[in-house]
Amino acid sequence: MPLAPDDNQNEEEEKRVRHKRNYQVWGSEKQFFLFGGRLRVVKAGPMSIATFMAILLPAILFAIFDASWCWHNIHPSAVIIFYYCWLIGLSSFIKASTSDPGVIPRNIHITDDPYDLPEDYFNTISLPSGPEGDLKVDVRYCQTCHNWRMPRTFHCAKCDSCISIHDHHCKWLNNCVGERNYRFFFVFLLFSVIFCFYGGAMCYYRILQHDQHVRHIPMTVFNIVYLHMAMLYPLLLLIYHISTYAIKTYPFSLNSIIKNFVYGVGKPRGWSYVRPRDKYNRGDMRFTRFTSGKL
């Protein structure tokens, strides 16, 4: 018996949905995915492209103008170490800017009518915490994602998501820094400082060993200036993230400079709450977007 037109349409729709991945039904217009959901890109701005080019430039200039001299007059390992540190910095930047920062799925605590929230959902609620319940934890309801936000979870308007253990939205990464990509962000800062300082030191050593005037090696001078200027901002951020253990609002503080450093390098990523590359289950509300009528 042939199927009715509506049945054929429903069957085709079911087949189409069955082969979709979570990232393909992501209910946000402020981000998109590349390479089958492996890379997540926020549409907020192009500053991450400028940062990528700023990281790429010194490696190219050093390879053209200084690498050969350092290879033959210092040691081949000096050049290898420079590019090893540079590759770690570059790969950490890519991971920090394109990976999941700790996105909390939507509609965990959805009401009967998600378009009309009760008045209580617009207030901050204090819950008892601690072994004896003598501490208080403030939680708020996210009217965009429709969930009660965990402590240190904040909604980022640019990423259009709630981020677990949210540190800040970095415009240079064009991504939030949170629970799942903080390690990549920290390693990016660390190795950016290392390869900038190390490359600048080799160029400076070449100038000291050069018998003629520096006008004969202008690009070496340019590399020194560029590398030291490029090192300044990551260095300040790195010092801030290591040393600001006294600031209680800083989510990754362990009250020790050494502990902060070790934690920044070796921090586990944690679990992904959304898993963009998993197969989509029909009716999964985590990727549906509602707009509250009282916003």
Burial class (CB in 10 A: 0-12, 13-18, 19+), 230: buried
CA distance 41 to 159: 9
Assigned token pair, 233:
């901002």
Q: Which residue in the list 70, 85, 156, 170 is annotated as catalytic? A: 170
Assigned token pair, 3:
């199927």
Angle at the Cα of 12 from the Cα atoms of 9 and 16, rounded to 5 degrees = 135
Known catalytic residue: 170?
Answer: yes
CA distance 95 to 214: 39
Check if the beta carbon of residue 211 is closer than 8 Å to that of residue 133. no
Q: Mind telling me the catalytic residues?
A: 170
